[in-house]
Amino acid sequence: MTSNIFSLEDRSILCAYFGTSAALDSADIDVLISGLGIDSARCGGVLSPLAVAATRILMPGREAGESASGTARNVLMLPRHALTVFWTDQIVGSDEYSLVWVPGFRRFVVTATGNQRNYGYSQFAIGHFEPTSQLRDAVGKVLRGWWRSQAVAGRQRWQGCESSALVPEAHAAGWRELAWLQSAATPIRQAL
């Protein structure tokens, strides 16, 4: 099914992001990522070029039917707003988190849209998971992992949020506190 939705290049990048066996070797993936105009040197900390490339493929901003590599695509990805958080003065602006279903891969991807000065790129993937009946909990696990990485990097807790039906404010605030507590108690594992 993915052959009808994504180009070969897009599928290869998504396979590498999801860690599936169909992925090319890392040198070939690096060439594909570079072909999308992504500069690895601009990605820092926990943000990987692969996370930026996956989001370029999945997020709107292109005409319907156009893939990240410029070839035709039959499906337009429609992200679902999950949450917007407003950071302290240490980080400029806000981050908006969205959830995208990836047909053919049976995965949800949580993406972030933030200030390019903070991360090097303004849109990137922060995690993914398989379908579950506990969608809110799965999104929470990904967000806690991302926020824990921010805490480990020395960033202060975000100040406030704009919630959605998917992530109520009370859940987001609880996840925030848990992420910062966990960052102080244990070293961070590599993100999803």
For the stretch 121-168, pLDDT in tens is: 889 999 999 999 999 999 999 999 999 998 888 888 899 998 888 999
Query: With 70 as the cut, is the pLDDT of residue 23 above it?
Result: no
Q: What is the model's pTM? A: 0.84
**Residue 35 domain-assigned (yes or no):** yes
**Residue 27 domain-assigned (yes or no):** yes
**Residue 191 domain-assigned (yes or no):** no
Query: With 70 as the cut, is the pLDDT of residue 36 above it?
Result: yes
Give the span between the Cα atoms of 47 and 22, in whole angstroms.
23
Query: Which pair of tokens denotes residue 109?
Result: 């991807």
**Residue 78 domain-assigned (yes or no):** yes
Q: What pLDDT was estimated at residue 192?
A: 43
Q: What pLDDT was estimated at residue 76?
A: 65
Classify the C-alpha dihedral 55-70-20-137 as positive or negative: positive
**Residue 69 domain-assigned (yes or no):** yes
Q: What pLDDT was estimated at residue 103?
A: 86
**Residue 129 domain-assigned (yes or no):** yes
For the stretch 40-99, pLDDT in tens is: 888 876 788 999 999 988 876 544 344 555 555 556 678 899 999 998 766 668 899 999
Residue 143: which domain range? 2-185
Calculate the CA 105 to chain-centre distance.
Answer: 16
Question: How many independent structural domains does the chain possess?
Answer: 1
**Residue 190 domain-assigned (yes or no):** no
